[in-house]
Chains A and B, each alone.
Chain A
Amino acid sequence: MNRTGLLYDERYLRHQTGPYHPEVPQRLTAIYFGIQKAGLLPKLTLLSARRAERHWVEMVHERTYIERLEAACRSGAVAFDSPDNQMCAETFETALLAVGGVLEAVERVMSGELDNAFCAVRPPGHHAERSKAMGFCYFNNVAIAARFIQQKGWAERVAIVDIDVHHGNGTQHIFEQDASVFYYSIHQHPSFAFPGTGRDFEIGYEVGQGYTKNTTVLPGMGDDVYGQAMERDLLPAMELFRPEALLVSTGFDAHVDDEMSDISLTSDGYAHVMRQIMGIAARWCGGKVVSVLEGGYNIERLPELARDHVSILLDV
């Protein structure tokens, strides 16, 4: 059994998105109760939120953007940058707690105290651009974690594997000119899904060319296509890149029962994908992997998806 951390904190429920929004606090409680009900909590090291120091957020986001978000939050604004990004007075603080919690989990794993961790945080991050909030995301948790790992000297080459059903435009744009962070995303084909980026010819720029890879999946496709695509596209790329640390943008919204996509991944399909990722971590990163929640909106399915995800991290 692995020493697995679980980051969960009730303060992550304070970010409210208003009525009729899919990115709701109940997502996290569903995930937590799924893990609890399966009897996994005693096997896990529970981690709680902590506030990220600004300078880490500034490794990825423009200072003016951070200030703009803070000011919008103070002024009582209900949306930020786009009507998708519904917010409340607690949003800025919650977003900082999400980043800080993820950095805490990363530190525990990279220092060897834990083998791996799952961070059940919100708001999510992978759509957040350097200076723009988008697609329910404010701070790019995973991108900041990658820079944190590099700055602390734990690893030079960091791989980010993004299995959310939407393309992580923010993460890609942040690293697309950087050969030290490999960004791989598998998602519903952008002609059929938000945000419309992540086409298979987007492979990075300049020195970063070849360090971004996108697999696009057509509507209706599921377990087989995902399994094959990861073997065809991700595994060989990792053989060449040889990551020293692995971060996962985990979105559960490719599930067949999730209304946010037309992809038909089953719960078993998700488990298979996660096992493939664990294989990469074992081969290249001494098993060290930190998984960070992105999307996933079906409250009925999230408990089992989280249970399986954490069981695979624990290797039980």
Chain B
Amino acid sequence: MFVQKSMTRKVITVGPDSRVLEAHDLLQRHHIRHLPVVDSDNILVGIITDRDLRSALPGGLYGKTPASVDTGPYADLTVREIMTPKPVTISPTNTIEDALLLIQRIQVGAFPVVDEAGRLQGILSVRDLLRAFIAVLGIEEPGTLLGILVEEKLGQMKKIVDAITEENISFGSILVARHWEPNMRAVFPYLLTNNVSRVKKKLTALGFRLLDPMEWYMDRIPKVD
């Protein structure tokens, strides 16, 4: 999946010479945390975040509407003075996997998405990534998750997929995870059906072990007494 598909295209931006209080007002009004800073050609020059504003403005100003308080010397403060210039960006043709790995490494809340010329195309926030990840997992479609323990050898997955396909059941997704037992894998097919009792029996008959749902997450939840 490409960034282009998951990013937010309608981006609220400011110019570098705008007032910081104006940027502050935009963040408040649109309930956002990141404001890309672009020049008149829509070339990205920086980014300003709610954290930048929190450190730049005194407590009495941050989170207030400018009209309601005396803004004092902060009225003339410009975006350029407090923005992060040249933030880490991502391209529309980067993948969601790229974005997930990158966001974990550099710990930002959002990436401005820019084309080769440096023009702003969109913004990809943690929220957009979560949405994409939920889509990949398929968990917003109705279905049932199974947990199957399989030996780590060639052809196991084929057997599982064949058994499920023979039952005319569609897949939402399949996750494969390491299991604590050596040479074993846990396979989690998310099946788009409510009707799994027959396929469960079939998989058991094929010699697969169905995992107790309470063991799926591989860490025990404290017992409820």
Chain A residue with Cβ nearest B140: A196
B116 proximity list for chain A (CB < 8 A): none
Choose from B167, B194, B214, B221 the contact partner of A195 (Cβ within 8 Å): B194
Segment from B9-17, B42-50, B98-106, B142-150 that makes contact with A: B142-150
Contact A83-B168, Cβ < 8 Å, known A21-B195, A218-B214, A219-B213:
yes
In the complex, the answer to whether A84 meets B214 with C-beta atoms within 8 Å is: no
Measured CB to CB, the closest approach of chain A to B43, in angstroms, equals 41
* Chain A contacts with B in 125-172, Cβ cutoff 8 A: 127, 134-136, 166, 169
* Chain A contacts with B in 234-255, Cβ cutoff 8 A: none
A259 proximity list for chain B (CB < 8 A): 197, 200
Measured CB to CB, the closest approach of chain B to A302, in angstroms, equals 15
Measured CB to CB, the closest approach of chain A to B172, in angstroms, equals 9
Contact A196-B143, Cβ < 8 Å, known A83-B168, A83-B170, A221-B224:
yes
B145 proximity list for chain A (CB < 8 A): 191-192
- Interface: A20 (CB within 8 A): yes
Q: Could you write out 5 A-B pairs with CB less than 8 Å apart?
A: A83-B168, A83-B170, A192-B213, A195-B194, A218-B214
B170 proximity list for chain A (CB < 8 A): 83
- Interface: B70 (CB within 8 A): no
In the complex, the answer to whether A136 meets B139 with C-beta atoms within 8 Å is: no
Measured CB to CB, the closest approach of chain A to B119, in angstroms, equals 38
Contact with A along B179-195 (1 / 0, CB 8 A): 00000000000001111
Q: What is the predominant secondary structure among interface residues of chain B facing chain A? A: loop
Q: How far is the CA of A191 from the CA of B139 in the complex (A)?
A: 9
Chain A residue with Cβ nearest B198: A20
Q: How far is the CA of A138 from the CA of B169 in the complex (A)?
A: 20
Contact A260-B142, Cβ < 8 Å, known A83-B168, A220-B214:
no
A262 proximity list for chain B (CB < 8 A): 212-213
In the complex, the answer to whether A196 meets B142 with C-beta atoms within 8 Å is: yes
Measured CB to CB, the closest approach of chain A to B50, in angstroms, equals 24
Contact with A along B119-147 (1 / 0, CB 8 A): 00000000000000000000111111100
Measured CB to CB, the closest approach of chain B to A215, in angstroms, equals 13
Interface size on A, residues (CB 8 A): 29
Choose from B140, B194, B214, B224 the contact partner of A194 (Cβ within 8 Å): B194
Contact with B along A79-106 (1 / 0, CB 8 A): 0001110000000000000000000000
Q: How far is the CA of A83 from the CA of B195 in the complex (A)?
A: 9
Chain A residue with Cβ nearest B170: A83
Measured CB to CB, the closest approach of chain B to A66, in angstroms, equals 21
Q: Contact residues of A with B, CB < 8 Å?
A: 20-22, 82-84, 127, 134-136, 166, 169, 191-197, 218-221, 224-225, 259-260, 262, 297
In the complex, the answer to whether A195 meets B213 with C-beta atoms within 8 Å is: no
Measured CB to CB, the closest approach of chain A to B218, in angstroms, equals 14
Measured CB to CB, the closest approach of chain A to B199, in angstroms, equals 10
Q: How far is the CA of A22 from the CA of B145 in the complex (A)?
A: 18
Measured CB to CB, the closest approach of chain A to B204, in angstroms, equals 12
Q: How far is the CA of A22 from the CA of B170 in the complex (A)?
A: 18
Contact A195-B197, Cβ < 8 Å, known A83-B168, A219-B212:
no
Q: How far is the CA of A136 from the CA of B196 in the complex (A)?
A: 13
A191 proximity list for chain B (CB < 8 A): 145
Contact with A along B142-177 (1 / 0, CB 8 A): 111100000000000000000000011110000000
In the complex, the answer to whether A193 meets B214 with C-beta atoms within 8 Å is: no
Contact A196-B139, Cβ < 8 Å, known A83-B168, A83-B169, A135-B194:
yes
Measured CB to CB, the closest approach of chain A to B14, in angstroms, equals 33
Measured CB to CB, the closest approach of chain B to A139, in angstroms, equals 17
In the complex, the answer to whether B143 meets A195 with C-beta atoms within 8 Å is: yes
In the complex, the answer to whether A260 meets B221 with C-beta atoms within 8 Å is: no
Q: How far is the CA of A191 from the CA of B217 in the complex (A)?
A: 11
